Amino acid sequence: VGKAILLEASGILAFEKKLGNFIQSDKGHFILEASAARVLRTIGELEMELQLWQKAMEGSLQELDQKIDIFNAQIQSLQQELEDSIYLLYHEVDRLGVMVGDNLYEFLSLKTDELVKLLEEYYYKVSPGKSAKELAALLNQYSRELIHTVLSEKHNEQRLKIREQFESVAFRFFGRIEDIVDRMMEVSAEIFNITVSKSASKEYILGTKRFYFYFDEHPSFIPSLETLTVLGVLPKALVGGRLLKNAKSKLAELFDRNCGRVRFDLVEGLKESARDVAGDLRLRADSVSKGLLSALRKARSERGLGEKE
């Protein structure tokens, strides 16, 4: 009984249950399959390095040097193809960024008049019985709430849309890099007469990229009537029209600026994700090319020492 209590307190049973549920889920199956496929490909690449070293230990040293030169030239060509692919990746991300900007500009154009109308209706609703100062404060607060509500909703909508589009682009380029890696293996096999078996590749697993939006009221060039000292002594009948006009201008300005903040946040998130993916692409291809080259250099070094002896 004591052991059972200790086991439950350790959290191991709860962890095993969560792990079991995860493995049984579709996402769990996908991640396990992708991980297993990645392991198989890595094993195949390590076997290729070993076979490459073994083949490099055969034949004359002059022949080996010639093959290494051919290998280096082919790998450099494939690495340039990798960099070209990464350049195209950034171009695709820039295109997505432009789409985000266009979408938010259209949203700004369509939504501004709607928000201004809501503010005007609110003004006539709450105006009776309020002083000019009280009314200015209410209009300011209502404007901020309106903008925050519509932009938070728009931000979430755009975030999900961007993630879906970016994943499609990223997976496409991961596929290109796997093709380059396969050709690195094929080049090595062809030069050194090695039989290579290609493991099936699975899609990469992208982490969740979070996009943040912080509502902010930047310093405004439009003077706020709420801050004027004369406001407290002037009758509302004299300043009411100016008060509403100022509130409308303030709302339009804040909405414009915060639409810009949403656009900047989403586009910067895209660029950061692109940099992460580009780093993964380079790391993937470099690990294979350097592993193959290391096997050849090791064989060349051992052959050189052997001939000196």
11: left (phi over 0), alpha (psi -120 to 50) or beta: left
pLDDT at 22 over 60: no
Q: Encoding tokens for residue 21? A: 């549920």
Q: Where are the domains of the chain?
A: 2-308
Task: Tell the residue number behind the tokens 């307190």, with chain if given.
Answer: 9
CA–CA distance, 63 with 45 (Å, rounded to integer):
24
Nearest-CA neighbor of 221 among 196, 197, 246, 200? 246
Q: Could you give the 3-state DSSP secondary structure of residue 203?
A: coil
pLDDT at 72: 93
User: pLDDT averaged over the chain?
Assistant: 79
State the pTM of this model: 0.70
How does pLDDT run across 57-91, given as a tens digit for each residue? 888 888 989 999 999 999 999 999 999 999 999 99
How does pLDDT run across 168-204, given as a tens digit for each residue? 898 899 889 889 988 998 999 999 888 876 655 545 5
How does pLDDT run across 231-244, given as a tens digit for each residue? 444 455 555 578 88
**190: exposed, middle or buried (C-beta count within 10 Å: 0-12, 13-18, 19+)?**
middle
Under 8 Å between Cβ of 222 and 246: yes
